[in-house]
Structure 1
Amino acid sequence: MLSRFARMPATMPDNHSDPFDLEAYLARVGHDGPAVADLATLRAIHIGHVGTIPFENLDIQMGLPIRLEPDAILAKLVRRRRGGYCFEQNSLLSMALTAIGFDVTRRVARVRMGGDPGGRSHLMLLVTIAGQAYVCDVGFGGSCLAEPLPLIAGEYDSAGDRWRLRTSDWSPGWELEVWRDGCWFGLYWFGQEEVVEYDLIFGNHYTSTHPASRFVQNRVAARTTLTERHTLLNGLYRRRLRGELVEEMQITDEATFRHILVERFMIDLPEGAVLKPIEGIAP
């Protein structure tokens, strides 16, 4: 008999989806300004997206597949007001920006998290405006960008953190880093290779189904604004204000876990949702 939480296959993008509902997306992220392809609009939408659509992997923790069809992403993240992880989040942002008229390029990055580059498992975006490319990423969890960064080597202050973009000495491409504990901490590497749909399918399949994936092993949620970062890893909740840790809580029961999801991450799971048990969180 199959387990209630048997790993389900990640699904394939569908090229026969309905037209993108830009109006519903803009309402979801709270953008009531102009929808034009300029830097001010890009920044406003990026900030609105990360502040209102939480990063989370709870479908995986419920034994559900991560679907990448455009209609499925729109239904989950916009109409049902859930969150998602990078393949969902940055696909949604890409569809919205493309509908507005932005020049959007997808890249599949190699995650570092302070170590050597791993497999291509993270979807991020480059958006070009008047010849200048900007790094846009609404799907990197607790280390997510709050706003776009110009693709120019240098250091940038944003959302209480210091960031650095530099050309890579590992392989031709770029490194995104954040200043952490007195040194530069590598987040991910990305290059210039074109992305095809199967890159997303392969990456999504690994991150959502492989036993070694942190998203299979853990419950994860995050939400970012220009001033605050909320993160949740299993039972550990943290809130940072302008880069400083101001609140930390160890959650020990399921009721409190669900309360924190709603109150801090705006995630209201469907009635009857059952998450895979996690050590340290009582039913």
Structure 2
Amino acid sequence: MFDLSAYLARIRLDGPVLPDLAGLHAIHTGHTANIPFENLDIQMGLPIRLEPDAITAKLVGQRRGGYCFEQNSLLALALAAIGFAPRRRLARVRMGGEPGGRSHLLLLVAVEGQDYITDVGFGGSCLAEPLPLRVGEYDSGGELWRLRPSDWSPGWELELRRDGEWSGLYWFGDEAVVDADLAFGNHFTATHPGSRFVQNRVASRTTLRERHTLLNGQYRRRLDGVLVEERQISDEREFRALLAERFFIELPDDALLRPVEGIRA
């Protein structure tokens, strides 16, 4: 059985949380602010396990983070325990380009007759709060987001306006998702040589005002959508110190990460 009390403590929420819009908002914002997005197990050569107990042990018990298949699976468990009925959907990541494979997991949650995108696992462009699933532009976390019907295939396009231009983040439709779909997507994302999560160290953490991102040795912090800090990490000691300070990630002393260019041992 899912330990909801431990999860709420992890995201620094005092219960109870009701299955209403205020509750959904509180869960989403608390999750992204306290459970970082990261792929460091992949960079240590460890498998990404999607069993509920494994995800809960890692992200709640060990106070680690994870990527979309872990993050939104954990969120789905918590939402269901509260009384919501989350629906899993798989998205094709665009990041300003052509749609790729179905490699991103998100959730749709109906509240008071309205569906909301509830996605705590999209890394450096993660939603800070749920967005209503309807055509329009939304100011969230100091950034401008847009949802529109796709002209590529029936479904939706989620876009983010940054530096004066709209950039497509991902496409998704309304096809139901089963566990086998997640296993396929997770296997590719965690093991394929062409996956960005195999090629790079990635971490991010998002609040309603701040966005922290780390790509290999490049750290950036945005405040209300504006880049206010940027620096290059030079060595492993500095890398781990930054993980702890800005992303709340404490790696074991004996953890060995794959070397990346620009970060000295």
Same fold? TM cut 0.5: yes
| 1:16-55 superposed Cα distances (whole Å, 9 cap, x missing partner) | xxx1111100110111143210000100110000000000
- Mapped contact 1:238–1:248 kept (Cα < 8 A): yes
The residue type equivalent to 1:274 in the other structure is L
2:34 and 2:85 mapped to 1: Cα distance?
A: 24
The residue type equivalent to 2:25 in the other structure is R
Question: How many corresponding residue pairs?
Answer: 265
* SS of residue in 1 equivalent to 2:19: coil
Q: Which residue of 1 aligns with 2:239?
A: 257
- Mapped contact 1:111–1:122 kept (Cα < 8 A): yes
Matched, 1:86 2:59: no
Aligned-residue offset at 1:159:
0.4
Find 1:188's aligned residue among 170, 186, 190.
170
Q: Which residue of 2 aligns with 1:208?
A: 190
- Mapped contact 2:8–2:15 kept (Cα < 8 A): no
* SS of residue in 2 equivalent to 1:23: helix
| 1:120-169 superposed Cα distances (whole Å, 9 cap, x missing partner) | 00000000012210001000001000000000100000001000000101
Off by >6 Å, runs of 4+ in structure 1: none
1:94 and 1:202 mapped to 2: Cα distance?
A: 19
Give TM-score scaled by structure 1 length: 0.93
Aligned-residue offset at 1:208:
0.3
Q: Which residue of 2 aligns with 1:223?
A: 205
Find 2:248's aligned residue among 251, 266, 273.
266
Q: Which residue of 1 aligns with 2:36?
A: 54
Alpha-carbon RMSD = 0.6
Q: Which residue of 2 aligns with 1:35?
A: 17
Give TM-score scaled by structure 2 length: 0.99
* SS of residue in 1 equivalent to 2:86: strand
Find 1:104's aligned residue among 59, 62, 86.
86
Q: Which runs of 5+ in 2 are unaligned?
A: none
1:226 and 1:22 mapped to 2: Cα distance?
A: 23
Q: Which residue of 2 aligns with 1:9?
A: none
1:181 and 1:240 mapped to 2: Cα distance?
A: 12
Q: Which residue of 2 aligns with 1:167?
A: 149
1:205 and 1:157 mapped to 2: Cα distance?
A: 34
| 1:96-137 superposed Cα distances (whole Å, 9 cap, x missing partner) | 000111021000100000001000000000000122100010
The residue type equivalent to 1:193 in the other structure is E
1:131 and 1:108 mapped to 2: Cα distance?
A: 22
Aligned-residue offset at 1:181:
2.3
Find 1:72's aligned residue among 54, 66, 73.
54
The residue type equivalent to 1:145 in the other structure is L
- Mapped contact 2:141–2:224 kept (Cα < 8 A): yes
Aligned-residue offset at 1:225:
0.4
Matched, 1:177 2:162: no
